[in-house]
Structures are given as C-alpha cells and as structure tokens.
C-alpha cells in the first residue's frame, strides 16, 4: 500500500476536540479534590486489635502500576469518542471510468406527406399505415437508446423541427405519437429543407460527442426538392455527418392490393435516398415490413456505435473512518465495566 495515500486522511468536524479541554479540566478538578481530601478528613482512632485486623485484611488487590494503568482508561475512552465525533475521513481518488453506454446525437427526419396513409404494413395481424409503423418502431428505437440525444424533424410541403436536440427521451417519445400524415402538408418537396434544419441543429449541438448522424425515413421524392440535395450533401460532408436513409413502401405499383381508394398508390422512389446515403457515408435501406424496419434501426445503431465516453477528471470520494475509534472505545468501555463488576478496581 502507498504510504502517502495511507496518510491522506483528515477530520471533517475538528471542533469536537474542544470537548477534550472540558474533560481535562474536569479531571484536574477531581484530582485536586482527591489530594485535598486527606488533610480535611478528621482522624479516627480504633482499638489496637481492630487496627491490626484492618491492616491484615485491607491489602491491595493489584500492584500500583496496574492500578495506575487502569486509571488512564476513562481518558482513552473519551479521546476515542471525541475522535469519532470529529468524523475522521480519508480521500479516495478513483480513476476515470467509462460510461455505461455510448452517447450520440441522432437527428430523426420523418416524412409526413399524404402517401403515409397508405396501408403497406401490418401491426400484429391488423393492416397499418406507413406512419403507424414508423411511429411504433421509432418509439422502441428511442427507448432502447436512452443515453443518446435525439431531435425530431417533420416535413412534407413544409419542414419543421418538432423536438430540438434533447436528452429527454420521454419527451421525444411523447412527441412521436403526435406524428400524422398531412401534418406538414400533402406533398414532399421540403425534403432538402428538413435535412438542412437537421444539419444545422447538429452543427450547433455539442461537437464533443463522438458520433452525429441523421436517419431519414421517407418513401422518396414524388415532387422535386425545393432545396437542391447536392447542397445538402456538401453541407453534410463538411460536418462529417452521415445520412442513413430508410425507404418506406413497396417499389412497384403492383404492391397495391386495394380494391378501391380515392388515393393513387405511390410506390417507393429510391434514387434520391440512395444518392444522399452514398454521398455522405451513410447507407440506404429498403424495408418491407415492421420487422425489417426494426432490424434496419438496430443495424444503424451497430454501425454507428460510439466509443464509450470517459470522465475527464478522476472522481473523488470520502471514506468514513469514524467506526474505528468508536469500536475501540466501546471495547475499552466494556472491558472497564467487566473489571469493575468483578471487583478488580
């Protein structure tokens, strides 16, 4: 054991040692009264036979040195009790530790155009719209990565930041339930604007985090993007932010099994999604069902696994040492009581 660390202790409440002055003053007063007592005591005379008998029976039970040693026990007990009240403590320096989970900034960009009312998927055994499946799976994704920070952006005809970058996963999950088709309009020409908002939020957030990425969930472009996607790619490359794109919906009109509907079926358009992923270092995924979407999000989480964060400074904690003087004081107190009960003092 390091000798220097063994001496790295102190008293948190040293003011309690003032009690020792009171104790020593009281002991000195008692000793003074003991010295004065013989001169103030009146002499008592006994018959010579009685006096001889008393001298024979009144023999010391201990040697004078043993008696003097026992006289110091109350002072030692008092010293130990005051030391315990003064709360002796020792500083313990712990090395920097790694956090339990990686920490990342993840911007979720979700399309909410009219095509997300199409029932391409199933939840359980019931048909479900594209938006219902996206909300359900994203909720599980966010819940499983509670140590990460998220933002939520919505787009269709317009682009909105629904939830700014936050570590409050519960607030984000509540806002996920608000997602509905038509919420930002019917068409999808604001894709570039939504990605630009997401990149701006990531640039303004804490750059010290080890990973930053965008997850775009869309069925592709049905209308040209008002903001050129090439500019988005250049912006993402300058920030070193990959864009992972997830294509929702079937890739062919033949997937429409409806017998009648007022909405023209919109198949998945993949060119724009592939372009964004390939040019920024991300990846394009096409999902055919709820389980596919779960696997895709898990794969993105694995690919973008952030290194564990390490505390910058070693942590300090205090070890309470009061139990040691208190235990020793109790042992001496019990010893003194036993000796007195046996009539040895």
Q: Which whole number is the average pLDDT over 294-300?
A: 82
Judge whether 14 lies within some domain: no
Average pLDDT over residues 251-258: 47
Task: Kindly give the interhelix angle for 130-143 and 290-303, rounded to the nearest 10 degrees.
Answer: 40
Rounded to an integer, the average pLDDT of 188-208 is 87
pTM exceeding 0.75: no
Give the mean pLDDT of 21-36.
Answer: 71
- Total of domains in the chain: 1
> Is residue 262 predicted with pLDDT exceeding 70?
no
d(CA 275, CA 38): 109
pLDDT at 260 over 50: no
d(C-alpha 134, C-alpha 247), whole Å: 11
CA 232 – CA 234 distance, rounded (Å): 5
In a domain, 240, yes or no: yes
- Range 330-337 average pLDDT: 83
- 108, part of any domain: yes
Bridge partners of 320, per DSSP, are: 89
**Has residue 82 been placed in a domain?**
no
pLDDT surpasses 70 at 205: yes
The number of beta carbons lying within 10 Å of the beta carbon of residue 178 is 12
pLDDT in tens, 55-74: 554 445 444 455 555 667 77
- Looking at every residue in the chain, the average pLDDT score rounds to 77
Does any domain span residue 222? yes
CB burial of residue 47 (10 Å; 0-12, 13-18, 19+): exposed
The tens digit of pLDDT for each residue in 74-83 reads 778 888 888 8
Task: Give the CATH number for residue 280.
Answer: 3.40.50.410
CA–CA distance, 113 with 266 (Å, rounded to integer): 11
Helix axes 169-176, 130-143, angle to 10 degrees: 170
- Is residue 65 domain-resident? no
For residue 83, the model assigns a pLDDT of 83
Instruction: Please tell me the predicted confidence (pLDDT) of residue 42.
Output: 54
Q: Which residues lie below 8 Å from residue 207, measured CB to CB, with a gap of 6+?
A: none
- Which residues form the domain of 119? 104-253+264-303
Q: Per the domain annotation, does 92 fall within a domain?
A: no
- Mean pLDDT value of segment 314-329: 78
Domain assignment present for residue 194? The answer is yes
Per-residue pLDDT of 141-194, as tens digits, reads 888 877 788 999 999 999 999 999 988 888 999 999 888 888 888 889 999 999
Give the helix/strand (H/E) hosting 317.
strand 315-320
Q: Residue 191 — φ and ψ, nearest 5°?
A: -60, -50
Per-residue pLDDT, 1: 44
Using alpha carbons only, give the angle 300, 99, 5 rounded to the nearest 5 degrees: 160
Give the E-state strand segments of 157-313 in sequence order.
159-166, 211-218, 243-248, 284-287
Give the per-residue pLDDT at 259. 45
| Percent of residues, the chain, with pLDDT higher than 90 | 23
For 45, residues 6+ apart whose C-beta sits below 8 A from its C-beta are: none
pLDDT for res 298 = 82
Q: What pLDDT, on the 0 to 100 scale, is given for residue 204?
A: 84
Q: Give the span between the Cα atoms of 293 and 181, in whole angstroms.
A: 19
Q: Are 150 and 169 in contact (CB under 8 A)?
A: yes
């Amino acid at each position: 054991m390091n000798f220097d660390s063994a001496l790295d202790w102190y008293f948190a409440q040293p003011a309690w040692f003032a009690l020792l002055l009171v104790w020593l003053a009281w002991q000195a007063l008692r000793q003074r009264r003991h010295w004065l007592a013989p001169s103030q005591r009146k002499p008592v005379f006994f018959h010579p036979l009685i006096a001889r008998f008393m001298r024979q029976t009144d023999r010391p039970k201990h040697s004078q040195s043993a008696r003097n040693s026992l006289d110091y026990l109350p002072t030692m007990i008092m010293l130990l009790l005051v030391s315990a009240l003064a709360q002796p403590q020792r500083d313990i320096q712990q090395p920097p530790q790694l956090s339990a989970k990686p920490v990342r900034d993840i911007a979720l960009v979700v399309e909410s155009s009219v095509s997300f009312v199409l029932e391409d998927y199933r939840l359980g055994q019931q048909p479900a719209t594209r938006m219902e499946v996206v909300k359900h799976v994203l909720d599980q994704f966010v819940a499983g990565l509670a140590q990460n920070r998220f933002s939520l952006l919505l787009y269709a005809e317009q682009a909105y930041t629904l939830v700014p970058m936050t570590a409050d996963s519960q607030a984000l999950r509540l806002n996920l339930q608000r997602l509905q088709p038509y919420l930002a309009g019917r068409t999808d020409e604001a894709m570039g604007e939504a990605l630009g908002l997401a990149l701006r939020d990531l640039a303004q957030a804490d750059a010290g985090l080890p990973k930053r990425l965008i997850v775009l969930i869309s069925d592709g472009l049905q209308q040209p993007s008002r903001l050129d996607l090439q500019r988005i790619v250049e912006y993402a490359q300058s920030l070193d932010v990959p864009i992972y794109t997830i294509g929702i919906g079937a890739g062919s009109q033949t997937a429409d099994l409806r017998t009648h509907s007022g909405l023209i079926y919109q198949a998945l358009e993949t060119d724009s999604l592939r372009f964004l992923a390939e040019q920024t270092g991300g990846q394009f995924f096409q999902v055919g069902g709820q389980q596919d979407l779960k696997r895709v999000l898990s794969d993105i989480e694995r690919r973008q696994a952030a290194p564990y964060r390490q505390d910058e400074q070693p942590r300090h904690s205090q070890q309470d040492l009061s139990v040691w003087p208190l235990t020793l004081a109790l042992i001496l107190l019990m010893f003194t009581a036993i000796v007195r009960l046996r009539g040895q003092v």
